[in-house]
Structure 1
Amino acid sequence: MKNPGVLCDEHVKPGEPGRFHDDQFLWRRHETMRRFVYESPAAEIARHMMRGKQVQLFYDQLFVKEPGTRKATPWHNDHSYWQLKGNQVISLWLALDPVPKSSCVKYVKGSHKWRLLHKISSFSGDEQRYKESSSLPDIPDIESKRDEFELLTWDMEPGDCLVHHSFAVHGAPGISTQSGRRRAYATRWFGEDVDFDPRPGTMHHMWVNAGLDPGLKAEEPLKSSLFPKVTPAPEVRV
């Protein structure tokens, strides 16, 4: 957090309590994250969950919520933000601190089957950043219709992980002043059925502006050093 990358974001506005920080592509700058990508069981877990033959890293992301942060992670699915087309796309969300259910990620059971591309905004609420997505439908109002959905969440300890499909709708509440810091490290993975989809209103333009252009055309396989193939360590078994 002391040396953030060009895609670092702060989601709590000045004057609001707490801090909600995230950063991307840490594996390109920090040896610890790079070793996690290449040497941990994460790649094999991802390959196994996707039932794929190979696995590539899309990107990684660090989330930090400090105690007293009221800002919630809005309900969303990841796929709506991403310049990808395909089904073999998952996230592995790794807890770095104890996370009680009260502040853990919550999922709408079965929502990955909706395959919904929805209008998006930044987690700070900036709708201009993704204004090209404004023609897409809104995500359902989960908060006001909680009784209509089955929500899944868990208590987690450091080292526990959750794996979810890119179309799974999820969100997370703020955390109380009594709760500890909530840090999580997410790695995003995809398999062989995924192609590049630089449609308007995704994170693609942000990455290009940050000097992270994969040099791909629409519907091409994601063959780029930005998205490395990761061979799971031979001793890893899932």
Structure 2
Amino acid sequence: MAGNSKRRGAIKRTPKGNPTSGSGGRVRRGLEGKGPTPKATDRPGHKSYRTAATEASKASTRPRRTTGAGRDDSEWVAGRNAVVEALRGKVPVQTLYVAEHAERDERLREVFAFAAEHGTGILEVSTSELDRMTAGAVHQGVAARVPAYEYAHPDDLLAAADDAGQPALVVALDGVTDPRNLGAVVRSAAGFGAHGVVVPERRSAGMNAGAWKSSAGAAARLPVARAT
């Protein structure tokens, strides 16, 4: 009989999109409205989450530099005599700058010879550009860019003495505000075998080009630390 689904050979069809077996439909409906699946590193129960948390904890305990990010603490040494003295005093010059058409005297020839021997770069710039870079200093056509000094940590000085199997000998300064005096102390401390010099972070001279020159090269061997 037409329309009789119970007759032999009849096929019962189920509505599409509504499965009667399996979990696909139920799971899909259960996830509706819950948003995208979180990343593995955002799920507390996942291994990736625990790994990321461990790395973040390690990063938070690492020491940080006291200088600001992107900060340029380098300075300029300007003038022929000053630059020659800095080179003789083993100040770590980054780049030498010479003005166009600058008179080639004995001091300038010494600068060129030093650059050739040590592989230091020399840039030729206009006089007006050198005026601008050195903030109007009397440069006599020659200037040198000196990098910021990288201070050690006081603990590093003690660790160096311990590694050498020696009793620590550290010179601690307070109230020394003249960089030349600081350099002289560094020179003397290196002479009698000290493991380093400690200066306050504030209200104290720093290891600038003047201190480097008066240390007579000792600043290249003896570490200077800052303490708060």
Normalised by the length of structure 1, the TM-score is: 0.22
Max radius of gyration: which structure?
2
Higher relative contact order (CA 8 A, sep 6+): 1
Larger proportion of helix: 2
Larger proportion of strand: 1
